[in-house]
């Protein structure tokens, strides 16, 4: 029963590289967009706050699968055709931008407002105050929730199998159609996802223990 | 054609198609709500049992509960659904899509619920438990009258968060052919060739279902932290 396990693992590992690729791509979009949204929220531009709040609410409350289908199937209606990998990166990235925006927002608000005032009083521009005073302090607070978000993201990449991106779960489905060792294959899939997320979960635990030690 | 005219044409499709779509989509909403409610209920039960396991004095129970939490949080819900729906068939366990989705999503949510309950009970001071015992409460009585009321305050807002997550994850049930919002939307999009229109309806439906929960979670968080935040 187990003689084909190395073959299965080989195929699934190829899928894992795609899973990691989708994760990193989506993470980059989510971090960049989330940071931009959080900074936009701190500005005094009119409509900035309601805009960011609606963005966060919309992208957070709609399931990633629905967002992915809108991007992959829906946008073909207006002539935009993305390949499955790109659609997954963009869809999960937009979804994640809402989470990251909230994480950065709470990170910024954890920095005492006196810090910003002190930076202004020694002549720093708001951008420089952000860069040298607020951000380094906020970073420490945001790291554990960001790592938690990354775990959620790795798990969410499984929905990309529904648009035929050749990641772990998609390869597993192909394997199950050529053999009938379905329980074994899905068990290997579960173990593989666990191996991807578990180190990050441990990292979160360590970061949180360190933060408690400082507090 | 100007952008405004194009938008008008886009939304005119809804006026034409909605009478035809409203029936199946309405039934699909009910399936989504059923899956969500049952999976959440299962998740609460599983989570409570696992949390008590993590807090028990038996080292084996503690270890088993910790492993459960790690696995439930480390494996995607979709993989759990596939494992239950497709993976158990060769072993002779054949489940319908909706029960499979309820079990899979419930087991998955149980890991999160367990951590939330554990954090809530862990946040109550040890002296509370001792005080309860010293006035003659049984261990169950200590939980019932002393620990759970205090833990609820901390645990309630994140538990609403889990409900929102279960609602969103219920969309995964469409991938094992449960007739929920996403499956109906996909059916309609392939029969009417209007993928964007119907998928936007699906997105809007999830948004409308999740928005009040999300507002309730923020309100609860503000209400429950009353009097706690002022401490340094």
Provide the ipTM: 0.89
Helix, strand, coil percentages, rounded to 5, for chain A = 85, 0, 15
Total number of domains in chain B: 1
Q: Does the structural domain A5-214 have CATH classification 3.30.420.250?
A: no
From the candidates A74, A87, A95, which should be mutated to test the interface with B, based on the most B CB atoms within 10 A?
A74
Residue B161 lies in a domain: yes
**Residue B202, domain member (yes or no):** no
* B217: number of Cβ within 10 Å: 19
Per the domain annotation, does B66 fall within a domain? Answer: yes
Q: What is the pLDDT of residue A113?
A: 86
For residue B83, give the nearest of A156, A186, A197 by CB distance: A186
Question: For residue B214, is it left (φ>0), alpha (ψ between -120 and 50) or beta?
Answer: alpha
DSSP conformation class of B96: -
Residue B150 domain-assigned (yes or no) = yes
Q: Judge whether B15 lies within some domain.
A: no
Chain A residue with Cα closest to B74: A194
Per-residue pLDDT, A124: 92
| B contact set with A (CB within 8 A) | 70-71, 73-80, 82-83, 86-91, 164, 168-172, 174-175, 182, 185-186, 189, 194-197, 199-200, 202-203, 206-207, 210-211, 214
Q: Residue B87, SS3?
A: coil
Report the distance separating Cα B168 and Cα B188, nearest Å: 20
**Domain boundaries, position B157:** 28-181+209-218
pLDDT (tens digit per residue) in B169-211:
999 999 999 999 999 999 999 898 899 999 999 999 999 999 9
Task: Establish if B136 belongs to a structural domain.
Answer: yes
What is the spatial distance between Cα B35 and Cα B41, in angstroms, rounded to a whole number?
10
Residues A169 and A171: their CA atoms lie apart, in Å, by 5
pLDDT recorded at residue B229: 53
pLDDT at A215: 58
Chain segment A85-136, per-residue pLDDT in tens: 999 999 999 999 999 999 999 998 888 889 989 999 999 998 898 889 988 8
Q: What is the pLDDT of residue B231?
A: 45
pLDDT at residue A1 above 80?
no
Nearest to A198 among B70, B82, B206 (CB): B70
- CB contact under 8 Å between A74 and B73, yes or no, is no
Judge contact between A185 and A176, C-beta under 8 A. yes
CATH number for B51: 1.10.3720.10
Interval A31-42 mean pLDDT: 93
Tell me if B191 is assigned to some domain.
no
B178: left (phi > 0), else alpha (psi -120 to 50), else beta?
Answer: beta
Report the pLDDT averaged over residues A9-20: 96
Structure tokens at A141: 């607070």
Inter-chain touch B164–A61, beta carbons under 8 Å: yes
Which residue ranges make up each domain of chain A? 5-214
Tell me if B207 and A70 make a contact (CB, 8 A cut-off): no
Q: Decide if B176 is inside a domain.
A: yes
Using the 8-state DSSP alphabet, how is residue B228 labeled?
Answer: T
pLDDT in tens, A152-202: 999 999 999 999 999 999 999 999 988 878 999 999 999 999 999 999 999
What is the pLDDT at residue B176? 95
pLDDT the model gives residue B227: 66
Question: What stretches in chain B show pLDDT beneath 50?
Answer: 230-232
């Amino acid at each position: 029963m187990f003689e084909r396990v190395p073959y299965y693992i080989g195929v699934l590992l190829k899928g894992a590289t795609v899973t990691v690729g989708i994760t990193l791509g989506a993470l980059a979009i989510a971090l960049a967009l989330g940071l931009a949204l959080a900074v936009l929220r701190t500005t005094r531009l009119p409509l900035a706050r309601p805009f960011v709040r609606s963005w966060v609410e919309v992208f957070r409350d709609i399931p990633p699968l629905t967002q992915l289908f809108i991007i992959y199937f829906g946008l073909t209606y207006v002539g935009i055709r993305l390949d499955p990998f790109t659609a997954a990166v963009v869809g999960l990235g937009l979804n994640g931008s809402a989470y990251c925006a909230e994480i950065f927002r709470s990170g910024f608000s954890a920095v005492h407002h006196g810090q910003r005032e002190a930076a202004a009083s020694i002549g720093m521009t708001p951008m420089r105050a952000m860069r040298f005073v607020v951000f380094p302090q906020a970073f420490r607070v945001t790291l554990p929730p960001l790592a938690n978000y990354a775990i959620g993201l790795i798990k969410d990449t499984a929905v990309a199998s529904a648009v035929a991106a050749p990641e772990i779960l998609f390869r597993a489905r192909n394997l199950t159609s050529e053999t009938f060792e379905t329980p074994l294959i899905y068990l290997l899939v579960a173990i593989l996802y666990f191996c991807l997320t578990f180190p990050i979960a441990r990292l979160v635990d360590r970061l949180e223990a360190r933060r408690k030690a400082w507090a | 054609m100007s952008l405004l005219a194009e938008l008008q044409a886009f939304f005119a499709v809804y006026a034409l198609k909605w009478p035809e779509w409203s029936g199946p989509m309405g039934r699909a909403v009910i399936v989504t709500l059923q899956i969500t409610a049952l999976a959440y209920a299962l998740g609460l039960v599983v989570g409570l049992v696992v949390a008590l396991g993590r807090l028990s004095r038996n080292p084996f129970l503690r270890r088993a509960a910790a492993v459960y939490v790690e696995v439930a949080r480390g494996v995607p819900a979709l993989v759990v659904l596939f494992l239950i729906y497709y993976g158990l068939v060769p072993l002779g366990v054949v489940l319908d899509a909706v029960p499979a989705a309820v079990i899979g999503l419930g087991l998955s949510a149980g890991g999160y619920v367990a951590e939330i309950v554990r954090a809530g009970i862990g946040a109550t001071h040890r002296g509370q438990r001792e005080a309860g015992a010293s006035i003659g409460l049984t261990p169950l009585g200590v939980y019932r009258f002393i620990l759970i009321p205090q833990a609820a305050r901390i645990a309630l807002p994140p538990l609403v968060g889990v409900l929102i997550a279960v609602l969103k994850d219920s969309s995964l049930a469409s991938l094992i052919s449960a007739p929920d919002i996403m499956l109906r939307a996909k059916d309609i999009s392939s029969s009417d060739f209007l993928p964007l229109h119907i998928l936007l309806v699906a997105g809007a439906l999830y948004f409308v279902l999740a928005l009040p929960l999300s507002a309730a979670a923020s309100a609860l968080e503000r209400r429950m932290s009353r009097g706690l935040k002022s401490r340094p």
